[in-house]
């Protein structure tokens, strides 16, 4: 019991007293983008230009709430759901670029969910592009 | 967790196949707009099925809805009443915080004719 109590506080203390400014925790987020069916290729190529290399496409359908569409009987429309993993810092510039594309032809929506943890240093490095940016961190 | 979006949250709702209409209907009545549906397959526990003598249908659908935070509790409860675990829909409903969101049309939010997602 005593040992446990003595180890833990020093460990925490050390961590708090000496914050290393070099180490930046690069947070990852899961970006979910819903666009019209067959438009996903275009979006994925934009994502890849912005270094979001991991994307998966799932087929989905949207429930458009427009009265007119209901009358026409096409209230449900085919959609592509793109799941991509992206660094937090890359989201803002990416969203700036796809803002107009989404609005004009995608009739889509995009949102990101912060990830709380992940396993695998290699994968983490790949996702955060440690080699490109020369940022040494294995937090995750 | 400091830079989360303060206005919106994402509701995920996993229900048995065919119950998405009920979910969307309920969500819309409580202030949600569009939603997106994905097909999925549940992995029911065979032992549980034997023990309770029920069948857990593996065909599932996942409904994703972006909602405003202030409506969240109301929508979650309403969906649970309509298609929760105690109903035939056997739905699991949860909400996740989101940090960035794009493509929500604010101007026509109040009207019934809103953009679907």
The ipTM of this complex is 0.76
Asked if the Cβ–Cβ distance from A108 to B117 is below 8 Å, we say: yes
> What local confidence, expressed as pLDDT, does residue B31 receive?
87
How remote is the C-alpha of A98 from its chain's centroid?
Answer: 14
Tens digit of pLDDT for each residue in B49-78? 777 777 777 889 999 999 999 989 999 999
User: Where do the structural domains in chain B lie, given as residue ranges?
Assistant: 8-90
Closest Cβ opposite residue B98 in set A60, A92, A113? A113
> What local confidence, expressed as pLDDT, does residue A71 receive?
64
Q: Tell me, what CATH number does A103's domain have? A: 3.30.70.120
Range of A46's domain?
27-133
- Strands ordered across the beta sheet of A28-36: B92-97, B8-16, B59-68, B35-41, A54-63, A76-87, A28-36, A109-114, B100-102
- Judging contacts by C-beta atoms under 8 Å, the chain A residues touching residue B116 are 62-66, 69, 77, 107
Top-confidence residue, A113 or A52: A113
> What local confidence, expressed as pLDDT, does residue B19 receive?
92
What's the gap in Å between the CA of B87 and the closest CA on chain A? 22
Q: Is residue A89 part of a domain?
A: yes
Tens digit of pLDDT for each residue in A14-28? 555 555 556 667 788
Top-confidence residue, B34 or A3: B34
**CATH classification code of B8-90:** 3.30.70.120
pTM, 2 dp: 0.74
Q: In terms of CA atoms, which chain B residue is nearest residue A62?
A: B36
How far apart are the C-alpha atoms of B104 and A110, rounded to whole Å?
A: 9
**What b/e sequence results for A23-54 when a residue is b if at least 16 CB atoms lie within 10 Å of its CB, and e otherwise?**
eeebbbbebbbbbeeebbeebbeebeebbbee
Q: Is B71 exposed, middle or buried (0-12, 13-18, 19+ CB in 10 A)?
A: middle
Tens digit of pLDDT for each residue in B88-113? 888 999 999 999 998 886 644 444 44
Q: Is residue A1 part of a domain?
A: no
Residues of B with CB under 8 A from a CB of A: 1, 4, 8, 10, 20, 24, 28, 33-39, 64, 66, 96-104, 112-117
> What local confidence, expressed as pLDDT, does residue B115 receive?
43
Asked if the Cβ–Cβ distance from A88 to B99 is below 8 Å, we say: yes
> What local confidence, expressed as pLDDT, does residue B66 receive?
92
Domain count along chain A: 1
What's the gap in Å between the CA of A66 and the closest CA on chain B? 5
Q: Is residue A3 part of a domain?
A: no
Asked if the Cβ–Cβ distance from B117 to A77 is below 8 Å, we say: no
Tens digit of pLDDT for each residue in B2-29? 567 778 999 999 999 999 989 999 998 9
């Amino acid at each position: 019991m005593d040992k446990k109590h003595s180890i833990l506080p020093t460990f925490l203390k050390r961590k708090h007293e000496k914050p290393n400014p070099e180490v930046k925790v690069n947070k990852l987020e899961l970006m979910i983008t819903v666009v019209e069916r067959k438009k996903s290729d275009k979006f994925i190529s934009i994502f890849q230009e912005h270094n979001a290399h991991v994307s998966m496409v799932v087929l989905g359908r949207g429930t458009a709430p427009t009265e007119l569409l209901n009358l026409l009987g096409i209230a449900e429309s085919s959609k592509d759901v793109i799941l991509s993993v992206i660094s937090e810092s890359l989201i803002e510039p990416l969203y700036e670029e796809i803002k107009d594309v989404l609005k004009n032809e995608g009739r889509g929506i995009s949102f990101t969910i912060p990830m709380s943890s992940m396993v695998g240093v290699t994968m983490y490095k790949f996702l955060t592009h440690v080699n490109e940016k020369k940022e040494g961190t294995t937090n995750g | 967790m400091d830079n989360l979006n303060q206005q919106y949250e994402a509701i995920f709702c996993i229900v048995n196949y065919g119950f998405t209409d009920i979910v969307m209907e309920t969500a819309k009545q409580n202030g949600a707009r569009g939603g997106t549906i994905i097909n999925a397959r549940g992995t029911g526990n065979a032992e549980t099925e034997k023990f309770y003598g029920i069948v857990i249908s593996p065909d599932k659908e996942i409904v994703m809805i972006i909602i405003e935070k202030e409506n969240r509790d109301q929508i979650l409860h309403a969906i649970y009443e309509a298609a929760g675990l105690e109903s035939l829909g056997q739905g699991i409903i949860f909400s996740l915080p989101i940090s960035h969101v794009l493509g929500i049309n604010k101007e026509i939010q109040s009207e019934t004719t809103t953009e679907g997602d």
